[in-house]
């Protein structure tokens, strides 16, 4: 190796290392004749966001381009994985020998990689100078046009690994770009570096981690988990908060509480899900049919009735009713759908009889309340057909006031009606046609 070639190689290595500190790597062999070998990752420049279509079949024998459109999966991305040049510098490079190199790229076919390598070799033939920077420049700005690649880019991926590689690279590249920029937080309105911010998807609104964490933690702690979404007032896009995203924002403990509460809400709002009634189990059980009342807990094996939550009593036995009046009131206020469900639960004939009997009982109770007064001693309902408001129970002989129901001293029964502090003062004959003076003049006995 002459000194001129060695100097040119060293200068090229130092320049590329300074310009591409993260994309350019090399080592120097310790042989009798030193040699530089390395790898150079070059990312092609894309026209903003592009679509990449993945399919499991190709036509015309090309394994990457011109795919049939059946069963395609589409990704929208902004970055493709780089084209990698693995190189070694011969002793007489760059003046009398070109680079020894290979072209690697997961989304280019063998034919495209070969065409690109030949084009890069032509560049050295034309210039016969250090060319790694020229290779990078050509790949970045001209490789897609040279290869005739258009968008949407159609690729074959029979194992889905290629799709995962491209998606992961695009995600990491976008995260890196995001971290290097600055954004105004949508909550505190301060300008923060992207490394301290989070961009929600798919709405892409940006908030600093501190504000978003505090906001989400407050909602989860208070149980308002349905409101854990983009805080932007004008956001009309459904925020997608995956387990990983929420874990990154609020931590594992809060994320797990959020998941538990969301599951609870889903169970409580899903008409086909209930809980196993055994206190030692309480596992969510999904109803298998809209019309079948039998439920079987998959965890403990307990068979129970969907409607009354008791041990399965068979399809022809109506569910036991704990609060008849409440059920009847609920039935009378229900719409047609709710009434149909209640008939399924309690049985139509049984429910109709309950309604009739309950309405009759309520009517009787209302009449009793309007036309009788219960004895303060034995609770027997006493109806007054005539006479004053001083009553005597026909069952236990207790004296009481018909107006207020209070006990009256039998030795002085009329004190209650002559006491200024009594609510019944001077009301002995309220509600009657009896003249008080005539009554006492005739010295009537109390009834």
User: How high is the pLDDT of residue 15?
Assistant: 94
Beta-sheet pairing, 390-392 with 153-156: unpaired
Residues 206/178, Cβ–Cβ less than 8 Å: no
pLDDT tens figures, 398-418: 999 998 988 998 898 888 988
User: How high is the pLDDT of residue 306?
Assistant: 82
pLDDT for 374 beyond 80: yes
User: How high is the pLDDT of residue 58?
Assistant: 52
Instruction: DSSP for 160-221, please give it.
Output: SHHHHHHHHHHHHHHHHHHHHSEEE-TTT--EEEGGGEEE-TTT--EEEHHHHHHHHHHHHH
Residues 86/39, Cβ–Cβ less than 8 Å: yes
Q: What are phi and psi of 359, to 5 degrees?
A: -65, -40
Residues 304/276, Cβ–Cβ less than 8 Å: yes
Name the packing angle between helices 324-333 and 348-371 (round to 10°).
Answer: 110
For the record, the structure tokens of 249 come out as: 């924002």
In the chain, the domains with their CATH numbers are 3-171 (3.10.110.10), 181-269 (3.30.40.10), 325-368 (no CATH), 375-447 (no CATH)
Predicted TM-score (pTM) above 0.85: no
Chain mean pLDDT for the chain: 86
How many whole angstroms separate alpha carbon 202 and alpha carbon 50?
17
Residues 6 or more apart whose Cβ sits within 8 Å of residue 384: 373, 391, 402
pLDDT tens figures, 268-283: 888 788 889 998 998 8
Residues 428/395, Cβ–Cβ less than 8 Å: no
Residues 196/88, Cβ–Cβ less than 8 Å: no
CA angle 417, 418, 421 (to 5 degrees): 90
Average pLDDT value for residue range 281-288? 85
**In angstroms, how far is CA 433 from the centroid of its own chain?**
73
pLDDT for 373 beyond 70: yes
Burial of residue 216, with CB atoms counted within 10 A of its CB: 0-12 exposed, 13-18 middle, 19 or more buried: buried
Helix then strand then coil, in percent of the chain rounded to 5, is 40, 15, 45
How many whole angstroms separate alpha carbon 383 and alpha carbon 370?
10
Residue 153 is classified by DSSP as: E
Q: Taking Cα atoms as reference points, which of 178, 182, 180 lies closest to residue 191?
A: 182
pLDDT-based confidence at residue 185 (cuts at 50, 70, 90): very high
User: How high is the pLDDT of residue 428?
Assistant: 86
Percent with pLDDT over 90 in the chain: 43
pLDDT-based confidence at residue 140 (cuts at 50, 70, 90): very high
pLDDT for 12 beyond 90: yes
pLDDT for 60 beyond 50: no
pLDDT for 61 beyond 60: no
Residue whose pair of structure tokens reads 């059920």 in the numeric block: 327
Highest mean pLDDT among 151-155, 160-164, 196-200, 352-356: 196-200
Residue 261: enclosing H or E segment and its boundaries?
helix 252-269
Residue whose pair of structure tokens reads 């041990």 in the numeric block: 311
Residue 123: enclosing H or E segment and its boundaries?
helix 110-127
Asked whether the CA dihedral 110, 113, 116, 122 is positive or negative, the reply is negative
Residues 404/423, Cβ–Cβ less than 8 Å: yes
Residues 38/25, Cβ–Cβ less than 8 Å: yes
């Amino acid at each position: 190796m002459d000194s001129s070639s060695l100097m040119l190689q060293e200068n090229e290595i130092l320049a590329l290392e300074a310009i591409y500190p993260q994309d350019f790597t090399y080592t120097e062999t310790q042989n009798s004749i030193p040699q530089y070998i390395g790898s150079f990752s070059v990312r092609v420049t894309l026209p903003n966001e592009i679509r990449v279509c993945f399919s499991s079949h190709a036509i015309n024998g090309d394994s990457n381009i011109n795919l049939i459109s059946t069963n395609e999966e589409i990704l929208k991305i902004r970055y493709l994985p780089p084209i990698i040049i693995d190189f070694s510098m011969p002793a007489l490079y760059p003046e009398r020998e070109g680079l020894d190199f290979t072209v690697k790229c997961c989304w280019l076919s063998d034919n495209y990689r070969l065409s690109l390598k030949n084009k890069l070799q032509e560049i050295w033939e034309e210039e016969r100078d250090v060319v790694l920077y020229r290779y990078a420049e050509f790949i970045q700005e001209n490789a897609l046009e040279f290869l005739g690649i258009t968008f949407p880019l159609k690729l074959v991926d029979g194992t889905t690994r290629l799709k995962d590689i491209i998606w992961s690279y695009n995600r990491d590249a976008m995260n890196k770009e995001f971290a290097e920029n600055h954004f105004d937080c949508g909550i505190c309105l301060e300008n923060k570096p992207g490394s301290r911010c989070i961009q929600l998807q798919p709405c892409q609104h940006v908030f600093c981690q501190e504000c978003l964490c505090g906001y989400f933690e407050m909602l989860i702690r208070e149980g308002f988990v349905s409101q854990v979404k983009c805080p932007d007032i004008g956001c009309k896009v459904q925020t997608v908060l995956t387990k990983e995203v929420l874990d990154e924002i609020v931590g594992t403990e809060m994320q797990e509480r959020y998941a538990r509460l969301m599951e609870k809400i889903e169970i409580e709002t899903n008409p086909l899900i209930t809980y196993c009634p055994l206190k030692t189990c309480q596992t969510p059980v999904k109803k298998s049919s809209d019309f079948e009342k039998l439920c079987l807990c998959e965890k403990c094996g307990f068979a129970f009735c969907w409607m009354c939550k008791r041990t399965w009593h068979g399809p022809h036995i109506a569910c036991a009713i704990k609060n008849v009046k409440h059920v009847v009131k609920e039935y009378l206020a229900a719409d047609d759908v709710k009434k149909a469900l209640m008939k399924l639960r309690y049985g139509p004939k049984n429910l109709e009889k309950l309604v009739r009997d309950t309405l009759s009982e309520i009517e009787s109770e209302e009449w009793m309340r309007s036309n009788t007064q219960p004895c303060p001693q034995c609770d027997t309902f006493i109806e007054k057909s005539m006479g004053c408001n001083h009553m005597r129970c026909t069952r236990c002989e207790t004296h009481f006031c018909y107006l207020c129901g209070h006990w009256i001293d039998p030795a002085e029964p009329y004190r209650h009606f002559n006491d200024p502090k009594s609510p019944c003062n001077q009301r002995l004959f309220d509600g009657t046609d009896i003249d008080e003076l005539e009554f006492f003049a005739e010295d009537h006995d109390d009834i």
